[in-house]
Amino acid sequence: MRSGEADREEPIKVLVVEDSRTQAEILKNTLEKHGYIPTLAENGKAALQMIDTVNPDVIISDVVMPVMDGYEFCRTIKNDERYRHIPVILLTMLTDSKDVIYAMVSGADNFITKPYQGEYLISRLKKILLRKNAPQSTDLVEPPIEIMLSGKKFSISHNRHQIIELLSSAYEAAVIQHNELLNAQHSLEEANNESNLYLDIITHDINNVNTGALALTELLLMRAGESEKGLATRLVTSVNQSIEIIGNVSTIRRLHERREALKSVLLDDVIQNEIRRFQNTQINYSGTHSRVSADSLLDQVFMNLLGNSIKFSGSKAEIEISVKDLGDMVEVVVADNGPGISDELKPTIFDRFKRGKSKKSGKGLGLFIAHELVNRYGGRIWAMDKVQGKPEAGAAIHFTLKKTE
Helix pair 226-257, 160-223: axis angle to 10 deg: 160
Q: Strands 13-17 and 37-41: what pairing?
A: parallel
pLDDT at 183: 86
List the single range of 118-132, 137-151, 247-261, 356-370 with lowest mean pLDDT. 137-151
List the single range of 198-202, 266-270, 287-291 with lowest mean pLDDT. 198-202
Single pTM value for the model: 0.50
CA gap 241, 310 in Å, rounded: 12
Residue 210 near residue 239 (C-beta atoms within 8 A): yes
Residue 14 near residue 86 (C-beta atoms within 8 A): no
Separation of first and last alpha carbons in the chain: 81
By CB neighbour count within 10 A (0-12 exposed, 13-18 middle, 19+ buried), where does 127 fall? middle
CA gap 243, 214 in Å, rounded: 9
For residue 371, which amino acid is it? H
Mean pLDDT of the region 336-345 = 91
pLDDT at 222: 83
CA gap 105, 119 in Å, rounded: 27
Top pLDDT among 102 and 364 is at 102
pLDDT at residue 131 is higher than 90: no
Reduced to 3 states (helix: H, G, I; strand: E, B; else coil), residue 58 is strand
CA gap 39, 233 in Å, rounded: 77
Give me the chain's average pLDDT, please. 83
CA gap 330, 289 in Å, rounded: 11
Residue 162's pLDDT band (cuts 50, 70, 90):
low
pLDDT at residue 363 is higher than 50: no
